[in-house]
Chain A
Amino acid sequence: MTELLDALGLTQSVALLSLQPPGWGANLLRGLANSLRIAAGAFAFGLAIGLAGACGKLYGGVILRDLLAVYTTVIRAVPELVLILILYYVGTDLLNQAAAALGYGRVELSGVAAGIWVLGIVQGAYATEVLRGAIQAVPPGQLEAARAFGMPPLTVLRRVTVPAMLGHAMPGLANLWLIATKDTALLAIVGFSELTLETQQAAASTRAYFTFFLAAGALYLLVTLLSGVVFARMERWARRGQPPVGGSA
């Protein structure tokens, strides 16, 4: 094994990436765990906003619909990096004012909470559009039937709309999840130690830029490919019992 690594000239890279302290492998994995935690939290928060936003856009009053249109347009036209900074400062300001009103001192927003808050609001705008399209693809007869049985609106949403639209929403949601995992890299710029920042620090202190950036790229790629497999399986599950797509209309 060691001869093979020597022959390939990789001994040094393997030592740098080892999980024990002289190596930086543990730092990268910790960064990856942080990235995934934020991505999962932001994705869930975004889904909640998206579901509420989609229902508002479809069934809400005229003012609510216009305000939601402003929200989705602005969020999708302004760079994530700028939004992250604005939301980060607004979030910490609001939190501090609330803390001062309640008689506490300054509070420091934790990196994970801040990441979930800012990326979740960005994700919510995209999720609103994805879920709105998916809900519109549900045959209206199904919703009318549920309403005709006297189901209250929330039960219709939970028992009919959501299960029926999930299959249509899955490809868009898979895309959103991938965007969430990649957007966590932007938090490196505000100094949160997720995978990209850990990589940059490891690379800068060892001067082994290629080793670490390639390793981090491989980790991100692994997450992407595994997510693809998982979402394909979830889409098959969500579409169970539905007629195959592309059949006769």
Chain B
Amino acid sequence: MSIPLWRALLMPHRLAIAAVFAGLAFWCAVSLRWDWIPDYAPLAVEGLWRTLWLLGASVVLGFLLAVPIGLAQAVGPWFLAWPARIFCTVIRGTPLLLQIWFLYYGLGSLFPTIPWIRGSELWPYLRQAWPYALLALTLSFAGYEGEVMRGAFRNVARGQLEAARAFGMPRLTIFRRVWLPQAVRNVLPTLGGETVLQLKATPLVATITMVEIYAVSSRVRSDTFIVYEPLLLLALIYLGIAGVIVAIFGRIERQVPARGG
């Protein structure tokens, strides 16, 4: 990283590669069919918004769930550590698609047979797909992050916690002010990578009738029989979102105080 970015990008061979890619993009723009875009633009914006809130909500909720799971595995008594470990193993050992279908079709076929659920206030929501999608993605993120947080909590230097205790901090304050911040800081790069992985998991919810951005592209394909154009644009959109996630986490990483000292 000694040379500045713009100069690294201006090296002759990179300019040549960039020219080739620009030519390719130009060829795509001119000779492929893009006339369907105006028709589907409103639906695509709606789908994009649905993808983004599903990603954001499942990452936040999943992380909140991952903290107690990681803590239970790192320092909890056996009757908390074991269930947490089994939860992580099951989530990480089975495909997410299977989990989504299990929740949607399994629970979805069980709920209507239970009278008090049918009569409850929540029933209108439970008949839609998004609660199951959000639940499945949240549990999945919690399972993977629970494992990350287990290592993170263990790797906080013992001297830090002993020092906090020596100052007479109550246990909850130690957790809130010392233990959790340092654990999260150490795994920030991992969390950024896992958030990108979570983004790549979101199109799976299209299989349970949720119309997010991937489902929109599938609809274009089945309506118009145009195969490559919607898929290429979709790949470009996901690349863009992944780039934004990486940039956000990079900014957060730069803001937290550096390690050591």
Chain A residues in the interface with B (C-beta under 8 A): 62-63, 66-67, 74, 76-83, 85-86, 89, 178, 182-186, 188-189, 196, 199-200, 203-204, 207, 209-210, 213-214, 216-217, 220-221, 224-225
Flag whether B163 is at the interface (Cβ < 8 A): no
**A182 pairs with B90, CB closer than 8 A:** no
> Closest chain B residue to A203 by CB distance?
B105
Complex formed: what's the CA distance from A86 to B227 in Å? 9
The interface residues of chain A lying within 8 Å CB-to-CB of B98 are: 185, 196, 199, 213, 216-217, 220
Complex formed: what's the CA distance from A77 to B195 in Å? 11
The interface residues of chain A lying within 8 Å CB-to-CB of B232 are: 86
> Closest chain B residue to A213 by CB distance?
B102
Chain B: interface size category: 35 or more
**A207 pairs with B238, CB closer than 8 A:** no
Residue among B94, B109, B227 with most chain A CB within 10 A: B94
Q: Which of B81-102 contact A (CB under 8 A)?
A: 89-90, 92-99, 101-102
The interface residues of chain A lying within 8 Å CB-to-CB of B16 are: 63
Complex formed: what's the CA distance from A182 to B231 in Å? 23
The interface residues of chain B lying within 8 Å CB-to-CB of A196 are: 95, 97-98, 101
Nearest CB of A to B51, in Å: 10
The interface residues of chain B lying within 8 Å CB-to-CB of A76 are: 196
A selection of 18 A-B contacts at a CB cut-off of 8 Å is: A62-B13, A67-B17, A77-B238, A78-B235, A80-B200, A81-B214, A82-B214, A86-B228, A86-B231, A89-B227, A182-B95, A196-B97, A196-B101, A200-B105, A209-B106, A209-B109, A213-B98, A214-B102
Complex formed: what's the CA distance from A77 to B242 in Å? 6
Flag whether B149 is at the interface (Cβ < 8 A): no
**B106 pairs with A210, CB closer than 8 A:** yes
The majority secondary structure among interface residues of chain A is: helix
A221 touching B90 in the complex, CB below 8 Å, given contacts A80-B200, A86-B235, A207-B109: yes
**B207 pairs with A189, CB closer than 8 A:** yes
- Closest 10 A/B residue pairs (Cβ): A185-B95, A224-B93, A77-B242, A213-B102, A79-B200, A209-B106, A182-B95, A221-B93, A220-B94, A185-B97
B94 interface neighbour in A62, A66, A78, A182, Cβ under 8 Å: A182
Nearest CB of B to A119, in Å: 13
**B228 pairs with A89, CB closer than 8 A:** yes
Flag whether B199 is at the interface (Cβ < 8 A): yes
B93 interface neighbour in A77, A89, A220, Cβ under 8 Å: A220
Known: A80-B200, A196-B98. 14 other contacts (CB 8 A): A62-B13, A66-B17, A82-B235, A82-B238, A83-B235, A186-B97, A200-B105, A207-B109, A209-B110, A210-B102, A213-B102, A213-B106, A220-B98, A221-B94
Nearest CB of A to B192, in Å: 12
**B234 pairs with A82, CB closer than 8 A:** yes
| B199-213 near A? 1/0 per residue, CB < 8 Å | 111111001000000
The interface residues of chain B lying within 8 Å CB-to-CB of A80 are: 200
Nearest CB of A to B5, in Å: 14
> Closest chain B residue to A83 by CB distance?
B235
Flag whether B80 is at the interface (Cβ < 8 A): no
The interface residues of chain A lying within 8 Å CB-to-CB of B201 are: 79
The interface residues of chain A lying within 8 Å CB-to-CB of B234 are: 82
**B95 pairs with A220, CB closer than 8 A:** yes
**B196 pairs with A77, CB closer than 8 A:** yes
**B17 pairs with A74, CB closer than 8 A:** no
Flag whether B243 is at the interface (Cβ < 8 A): yes
> Closest chain B residue to A204 by CB distance?
B105
Flag whether B127 is at the interface (Cβ < 8 A): no
A213 interface neighbour in B93, B101, B242, Cβ under 8 Å: B101
Complex formed: what's the CA distance from A200 to B202 in Å? 20
**B204 pairs with A81, CB closer than 8 A:** yes
A63 touching B17 in the complex, CB below 8 Å, given contacts A86-B232, A217-B90: yes
Flag whether B248 is at the interface (Cβ < 8 A): no
**B97 pairs with A217, CB closer than 8 A:** no
Complex formed: what's the CA distance from A85 to B11 in Å? 35
The interface residues of chain A lying within 8 Å CB-to-CB of B203 are: 79, 81-82
Q: Which of B182-224 contact A (CB under 8 A)?
A: 196, 199-204, 207, 214
> Closest chain B residue to A85 by CB distance?
B231
Complex formed: what's the CA distance from A136 to B213 in Å? 39
A77 touching B243 in the complex, CB below 8 Å, given contacts A213-B101, A221-B90: yes
The interface residues of chain B lying within 8 Å CB-to-CB of A182 are: 94-96
| B224-247 near A? 1/0 per residue, CB < 8 Å | 000110011011001100110000
The interface residues of chain B lying within 8 Å CB-to-CB of A184 are: 95
